[in-house]
Chains A and B, each alone.
Chain A
Amino acid sequence: MSSGIGVPVKRKEDKRFTTGKGKYTDDIRKDNQAYAAFVRSPHAHAKVKGIDASAALAMDGVIEVLDGHQLTGDGIGNIICGWAVNSKDGSPMNMGAWSALATEKVRYVGDAVAVVIAETQGLARIAAEAVEVDYEALPVIAHVMNAMTDGAVQIHENAPGNQIFDWELGDEAATDAGLAGAAHVTSIDITNNRLSPNPMEPRSAVATYDDAEEHYTLYTTSQNPHVARLVLSAFYNVAAENKLRVIAPDVGGGFGAKIYIYPEEITCLWASMKTNRSVKWTSDRAEAFITDAHGRDHVTTAKMGFDENNKIVGFKVDTVANLGAYMSLFSSSVPTYLYAPLLSGQYDIQNIHCNVRTYYTNTVPVDAYRGAGRPEATYVVERMMETAARELGMDPAELRRINFVQSFPHQTPILMAYDAGDFPKILGMAQSAADVAGFAARKAEAASRGKLRGMGYSTFIEACGLAPSKAAGSLGAGVGLWESAEVRVNPVGSIEILTGSHSHGQGHETTFAQIVADRFDIPIESVNIVHGDTDKVQFGMGTYGSRSAPVGMSAVVKAMDKVEAKVKKIAAHTLEASEDDIVIEGGEVKVAGTDKAMAWHEVGLAAYIAHNLPDGMEPGLKETAFFDPVNFSFPSGAFICEVEVDPDTGETEIIKFTAADDFGTIINPLIVDGQVHGGVTQGIGQAMLEQVIYDDDGQLLTGSYMDYTMPRAADVPSYDVSHMEDQPSPNNPLGVKGCGEAGAIGSPPAVINAITDAIGNNDLAMPATPQAVWRAIQAAKPVAAE
């Protein structure tokens, strides 16, 4: 099969992107289109005492200026967090009210208080500047460790001490006992730096209201248009679901930032009804930095105890997480259920306890960014393992190896049941590819040139394929996390696959077609993928959490099972054979061991013409399925980073980055490798370049690409990527595990472990900029005698 499972098929969707024919939201222009510009707070925390729009309304071409009182007055509901996390005392999380347009108070720089609708985008922006807002500035909490201090200003009335919840997982007493009896305890304090996801396509929305039908259409940059419709309908009261169509056309990257339903989409929909115009809003990059949900931002202390054989006997983690000014859609799940259950890593640890406290600050809301909780967990675990190995005087690979989980399934003490893997094998693959044996010689050679070489490991596990609906529900999720699919075989034998997964760079139009071409042994050109439109696809939960292959494709497989069964019945009836003898291969449906056959398209035609179907069979050849996973999938991997540091400048070059992964079955290695390359680069960005910085007044200092350092081509190396496929997931029909987040999850600790190895100082925070590295080198120098 030239285009089936495992083949590096070139992407079907590329032609439109390489020729400028992609259709992104900002490329859409409706008749009668007007433009929205938001009036945003310049204060991080302030009372809104009044809004005077008269000057703006007097401008030619300004259609309307709308504010939060009008919005809430029309019954538009507050923005919610859809995952309920209780504190350990059983009390519910303290969710503060978040209106799409603020009414009484603004809580971060960029919080919108009004929207201007005008004939052109330029005019809307000029008019937004002319809207006078009377603010009374309030004290500001810009950094999470200041949120909990006595006397700190209250950001939300219903969150005393600015705390959202105080949550725990695991057995604290058993963990304390394990640590108390340990032969050695390693302690670390680490910060997981705050990041901005930065998909290259800024968010955009085009909303249209049809007053005759009382129906809305929203084009939007979404990773999950059906979830958007559900939330816009059920919680924000924009319109009933049957009166709202959401279309996510080509979307230029997401990385989590396009999961959520933001104030701008809500406001554009509502404003299209208020003005009876199509309303378009497209973010610029500066606006993206102050409105797209940020990621990470944890402060953690952790202790790990080892017995005299260097086996882990206890792991205790205490984390403070900054959720920003409001609770974004999945914000509560990221530092809890997507974080703490991964703290067992690849290791057999019987005693683990994690306490997580989350707080409001006067900053942009924080939510999932590529990896979402799992990079934070991996950073704690893998920095801990490397640090402990140094303290114990052990080879860091060996310390990991003797603590690896060896048999599967493996139940951790913190919820997760690892299904399949082979951690020693993956580590061995990475070590050979990285030529660990030759490192000492390379280090010596670098030293002869005055350079410092270092090597760092990260052996990590993820929980992907989000998620078993029942389990997610029991942990507080407001939605089920299944996926749906429809397989439509047309009368001419071509196939359309309708999926609730959404591609915004992942290449679904190719990989989903591959599994169909593989199953029915037909050319990939006869398979088309339909996604991203709530009017076309029945329902879906979208793409995030590396779920499209393990969950989305599994739904397609289930629907194909039903199609295959019907195809065999029709062929058996027509060819007067037993269903059990029918095989599908080479474009034919035939009776095994005979020359009796129907062409694939003849079966499709027979199903629709329906002149000669088995008694009682419905015409047509179209099947639907929902797949709800029974467990998460557990991709794992071993990353090894080798760096060279210039001790005079702190400048660090990644000499080699080796990634060995276990993603289970691989559908398209070209695309899987690309996911790893991109994920690792984002992880290197976090480790060495990227950081969202607020000043003490809550002003964002890193609000453009001149201040926030995105990885450029010269900042990163080419990668050595390999895969192990002999431990497929037993929990879905294809044995896939998901590959979208691994690179971003596993790479930051590998980089920092390498740099700290090179410079001989373990105290180095991300991002390890040349200045930070240089300072760490200076700090590690012995103090000269007076």
Chain B
Amino acid sequence: MTTINMTVNGKAVSGDVPDQTLLSEFLRENLRLTGTHVGCDTSQCGACVVHINGKPVKSCSTLAASLDGADVKTIEGVSNGELHPMQQAFNDNHGLQCGFCTPGMIMTSIDMVERYKAAGKDLTSDAIRAELEGNICRCTGYHNIVKSIEDAAAKM
């Protein structure tokens, strides 16, 4: 067992977890933050993406015990009362259907837009599609996800 302390969505949390506990398990089972989803076992689908110290990471492939002191943000921590522009854009552009991949899509997309803005790069639709390589959606065909991200990028 390992004792870990981290900040999740701005709140200090701690827990004693078996060494092999994945961050996704820690979030879902220990903290009951069930917005982070697990859709595969091989870190392909991206439904589990969260931000660790400001970077998008697949929480299904990250040991919780390796994150002592880390600052973690999950889908539950994205909105501050008002929906984040990315969340709003997914609603405005019908960027989700079943909703299962959506938390990971939104976490990936927020980072994507912020990164391109910080680098002063143009986030084209081709770039969005390339950046979504690690996130699989089975419902939308990506058309409206790309539109959602373009829309949010204009507002962020």
Contacts and interface: CB of A to CB of B under 8 A. Distances in A.
A670 B37 CA distance: 26
A505 interface: yes
A19 interface: yes
A674 B138 contact: no
Contacts of B113: none
A253 B133 CA distance: 20
A505 B39 contact: no
A251 interface: yes
A464 B99 CA distance: 25
A250 B40 contact: no
B91 A11 contact: yes
B101 A200 contact: yes
B91 A14 contact: yes
Given A20-B33, A716-B141, A718-B125, A285 B98 contact: no
A20 B91 contact: no
Nearest to A10: B91
A424 interface: no
Interface stretch (B51-59, B63-71, B72-80, B116-124): B72-80
A677 B39 contact: no
B34 A20 contact: yes
30 contacts: A17-B102, A18-B75, A18-B96, A19-B35, A19-B78, A19-B83, A20-B74, A22-B100, A26-B38, A201-B98, A250-B98, A252-B39, A252-B99, A252-B100, A285-B39, A285-B45, A506-B97, A674-B139, A674-B140, A681-B140, A681-B141, A682-B138, A682-B141, A704-B42, A706-B44, A710-B45, A713-B135, A718-B125, A718-B143, A719-B141
B142 A20 contact: no
Given A285-B42, A713-B128, A713-B133, A253 B143 contact: no
B39 to A, nearest CB: 5
Given A17-B99, A19-B76, A705-B45, A712 B133 contact: yes
B124 to A, nearest CB: 12
Interface in A701-732: 704-706, 710-714, 716, 718-719
A671 interface: yes
B97 A253 contact: yes
Interface string B88-121: 0011101011111111001000000000000000
Contacts of A713: 128-130, 132-133, 135, 137, 142, 145-146
Nearest to A251: B98
A18 B91 contact: yes
Contact of B40 (A16, A17, A704, A716): A704
A26 B37 CA distance: 9
A152 interface: no
A18 B78 CA distance: 9
Contacts of B138: 198-200, 253, 255, 678, 682, 710
Interface string A302-319: 000000000000000000
B125 A710 contact: no
Nearest to A24: B100
Nearest to B88: A18
B65 to A, nearest CB: 15
**Pairs of residues from A and B, 9 with the lowest C-beta to C-beta distance, nearest first:** A20-B35, A252-B100, A17-B99, A505-B98, A681-B141, A677-B141, A505-B97, A20-B75, A705-B44
A678 B97 CA distance: 9
A293 interface: no
B141 A284 contact: no
B62 interface: no
A292 to B, nearest CB: 12
B136 interface: yes
Interface residues of B, number: 56
B122 to A, nearest CB: 17
Contacts of A373: none
Nearest to A503: B98
Contact of B97 (A19, A674, A706, A710): A674
Interface string A173-213: 00000000000000000000000001111100000000000
A504 interface: yes
A427 B34 CA distance: 46
Given A14-B91, A706-B44, A714-B130, A201 B100 contact: yes
Contacts of A266: none
A383 B85 CA distance: 45
A706 B42 contact: yes
Interface string A273-298: 00000000000111000000000000
B7 interface: no
Interface residues of A, number: 57
B136 A678 contact: no
B47 interface: yes
Given A199-B138, A252-B100, A670-B94, 8 more contacts: A11-B91, A18-B90, A20-B103, A253-B100, A286-B41, A674-B94, A704-B41, A719-B141
Contacts of B36: 20
B102 A18 contact: yes
Most buried by B among A199, A506, A674, A682: A674
Interface in A1-31: 10-11, 13-24, 26-27, 29
Contacts of A751: none
Contacts of A20: 33-36, 74-76, 78, 103
B14 interface: no
A743 B47 CA distance: 24
Contact of A705 (B40, B140, B142, B144): B40
A200 B98 contact: yes
Contact of A677 (B20, B79, B98, B140): B140
A428 interface: no
Contacts of B141: 674, 677-682, 711, 716, 719, 743
Contact of A22 (B35, B79, B87, B132): B35
Given A200-B39, A200-B137, A505-B139, A253 B83 contact: no
A322 to B, nearest CB: 23
Given A10-B91, A200-B100, A19 B136 contact: no
A677 B97 CA distance: 11
A674 B141 CA distance: 8
Contacts of A674: 94, 97, 139-141, 143-144
Contacts of A122: 18, 20
Given A682-B138, A705-B44, A504 B98 contact: yes
Interface string A495-516: 0000000001111000000000
Contacts of B102: 17-18
Contacts of A14: 90-91, 96, 99
Nearest to A717: B143
Given A505-B99, A678-B97, A253 B79 contact: no
A285 B44 CA distance: 11
Nearest to B36: A20
Nearest to B103: A20
A561 B47 CA distance: 43
Interface string A436-459: 000000000000000000000000
Contacts of A673: 94, 144
A253 B97 CA distance: 8
A682 B141 CA distance: 8
A713 B128 CA distance: 8
A21 B129 contact: no
A26 B47 CA distance: 14
Nearest to B29: A29
B91 A200 contact: no
Contact of B83 (A15, A22, A714): A15
Contacts of B140: 674, 677-678, 681
Nearest to A712: B133
A17 B125 CA distance: 24
Contacts of A505: 97-99, 139
Contacts of A284: 38, 40-41
Contacts of B125: 718
Interface string B9-21: 0000000001010
Nearest to B107: A20
